[in-house]
Amino acid sequence: MIIARIIEPAAAALDTTLASHRRAAFLLVLAALALFLPGLFSLQPMDRDEPRFAQATKQMIETGDYVAIRFQDEARNKKPVGIYWMQAAVVSAAEALGVPQARTTIWLYRLVSLFGAVSAVLLTYWTALVFVTRRNAFLAALLFASTILIGVEARLAKTDAVVLATIMAAMGALARFYLQPEKTRGWKLPFIFWTAIGLGLLVKGPITPMVPLFAGLVLALKDRGAKWFGAARPLPGLIWALLLVVPWFVLIMIATKGAFLADSVGNDMLGKVGSGQESHGAPPGTYFVAFWATAWPMAPFAALAAAFAWTARREKAVAFLLAWIVPFWLVFEAVPTKLPHYVLPAFPAIAILIMVAFERGALVAQKTWARALLRLVPVIPLVLLAAGVGLSVWSGKLPGAFAFVALPFLVGLAWHLLRDIGTEKIETSVLAAVALAVSAYVFVFSGIMTGGPFEAWRMSPRLADAARLAMSHQGQCTRTSAATVGFNEPSLVFLTGTDLLMTGGEEAARFVKGAPCRIAFVDVRGEAAFKAALSTSSNIALISRVEGLNLNGGRKLDIGVYALKVSAP
């Protein structure tokens, strides 16, 4: 088979290909981009978290206030400022370079997450070098990069890919403190560790320090001491980390009169611990069940490595990885609020543990149950393929061209893995799984979600386009103000303007009549009140209708676009 003829020699040539760390890093960057770029430039703002982050950044640029974080008139005190500064720097640079409509171009905001995700992959390789050979460190990073969860976070303009990079820098340094004390003299590794802690605090608060803290406590209990941590220079290091965070923290506390701490710790963090926030509550065990999908294609390999992890749990290297994975995972299983990305920081450690098992000769698939387990690898892409075809039939619209480009690779690689996985070398199966992931992501993100079948869910971009078209006929409108009734998603604020008025039908009617260059988006459920509030002599008219589905919840929408009626010349 052609695919096997390509993959098998590639696996066999890994040692020669990875002749240096620089070459390995270069190949990992190329692989990560192949995995993360499909859809990054073409996906709509994905409600709700992504446009909330992007809109808050946009308001920083609009107002010049880079201390307070706001979404429209509401203080957004859930996360620290780091991600907003990074996004603002990218968007401002794009504006300076002349990128049109940079402030409402969502992929510019996503570049920060892309950088964070690629950095996390490279840092996974750097961390894995403590445990395995260069070849297997490369495979660990590659396997992690191919997982669905990091691929999703790389495409969303929010905190999680960036904070993961800070966690990986900290854990790579911590692994060297614990396992290679003879190589930890000097200030280089302590600087990396504490800078990562400080930057992580500035991006997402306590999550970055939480991972090494939990791991360190478990290892200290196991070893009955933690003298090895002295190499981290804890006192000067902690001072340096705080210096990175405290200046902004003082400014935001002054600006919000202490509300930031109350909202971020009291309402957001402790609220998630106490109950399931925003309809995201779920019982313990949820992450274990979700792992089989979110960690695809890594999950079946992890299941094979589980027996080795238990057997070798007292070995220092394996103990470190388990101390990284287990307490962090259990804490989030216990917390009522559950979102898939909460356990993402454990995924690189799982990938490394898989390759440790492989290097020790423990990752074998000779038994029937093991081969059956590995045959789960091609199942999810085939399910995605069936879903994409079904969506195309349901919508009556063809996918984008990229879907047809990816299709033969997806089917061919899935067939190869169904037939050969468990009988071929592990390296070959890993490379085939990564190649399958690339084809699946191109099919889904560039073919289905940005093609015709997903058009019904692109409500905010379609409404923004309808507004621009309507205002183009007004003649002298350099700026448009909008009101919305029945569709209040953050993506609409991001695409149409910070001053978007979310209101009812009567107020929307008064708004659109109040001044020229105004537009109203009115869902059919609110149109009766809207029309009743328009006087019979009003020159406000229905310009167009946009029908579709809300990306959140799937509620059917039928929205009228109303503006000043322009007489034909």
- One pLDDT digit (tens) per residue for the chain, 569 residues: 566 667 778 777 888 889 899 999 999 999 999 999 999 999 999 999 999 999 999 999 999 999 999 999 999 988 899 999 999 999 999 999 999 999 999 999 999 999 999 999 999 999 999 999 999 999 999 999 999 999 999 999 999 999 999 999 999 999 999 999 988 888 999 999 999 999 999 999 999 999 999 999 999 999 999 999 999 999 999 999 999 999 999 999 999 988 888 877 756 665 556 545 555 568 999 999 999 999 999 999 999 999 999 999 999 999 999 999 999 999 999 999 899 999 999 999 999 999 999 999 998 766 777 888 888 999 999 999 999 999 999 999 999 999 999 999 999 999 989 888 877 788 889 999 999 999 999 999 999 999 899 999 999 999 999 999 888 877 678 788 999 999 999 999 999 999 999 999 999 999 999 888 999 999 999 999 999 999 776 789 999 999 999 999 899 999 999 998 865 44
Cβ(375)–Cβ(417) below 8 Å: yes
- The pair of three-digit structure tokens given for residue 22, joined into one six-digit string: 């620089």
- The pair of three-digit structure tokens given for residue 499, joined into one six-digit string: 């001053």
42 SS3 class? coil
Cβ-based neighbours of 480, under 8 Å, separated by 6 or more: 467, 468, 471, 496, 497, 517, 518, 519
536 SS3 class? coil
* Cα gap 157→83, rounded to integer Å: 9
Cβ-based neighbours of 361, under 8 Å, separated by 6 or more: none
How many Cβ atoms from other residues are within 10 Å of residue 487's Cβ?
A: 22
What pLDDT score does 1 carry? 53
What pLDDT score does 480 carry? 85
What pLDDT score does 569 carry? 47
Cβ(155)–Cβ(193) below 8 Å: no
Whole-number CA gyration radius for the chain = 26
For 368, what's the count of Cα atoms within 13 Å in the CB-facing half-sphere? 0
Cβ(69)–Cβ(77) below 8 Å: yes
* Cα gap 154→151, rounded to integer Å: 5
How many Cβ atoms from other residues are within 10 Å of residue 218's Cβ?
A: 18
Identify the sign of the CA torsion 101, 115, 413, 417: negative
Q: Specify which residues 564 forms β-bridges with.
A: 540
Which residues in 382-431 belong to E strands, given as ranges? Answer: none
How many Cβ atoms from other residues are within 10 Å of residue 62's Cβ?
A: 11
Cβ(388)–Cβ(399) below 8 Å: yes
What pLDDT score does 440 carry? 97
* Cα gap 452→388, rounded to integer Å: 11
Summary count for the chain: helices (H), strands (E): 26, 7
- Tracing tokens 């446009």 back to the chain, one arrives at 51
CA 285 from centre of chain: 22
* Cα gap 371→48, rounded to integer Å: 40
What pLDDT score does 366 carry? 65
Q: Which of 522, 499, 496, 492 is nearest to 509 (CA)?
A: 522
- The pair of three-digit structure tokens given for residue 200, joined into one six-digit string: 């992580």
How do strand 481-485 and strand 501-502 relate by DSSP bridges? parallel
DSSP letter (8 states) at residue 263:
I
Cβ(444)–Cβ(35) below 8 Å: no
* Cα gap 378→388, rounded to integer Å: 16
Q: Which of 238, 184, 188, 182 is nearest to 213 (CA)?
A: 238
- The pair of three-digit structure tokens given for residue 68, joined into one six-digit string: 């307070």
What pLDDT score does 474 carry? 74
Q: Which of 272, 266, 269, 264 is nearest to 337 (CA)?
A: 272
What pLDDT score does 239 carry? 98
* Exposure letters 386-400 (e unless 16+ CB within 10 A, then b): eebeebbeeeeeebb
* Cα gap 440→437, rounded to integer Å: 5
Q: Helix-strand-coil percent breakdown of the chain, rounded to 5? A: 70, 5, 25
Cβ(190)–Cβ(237) below 8 Å: yes
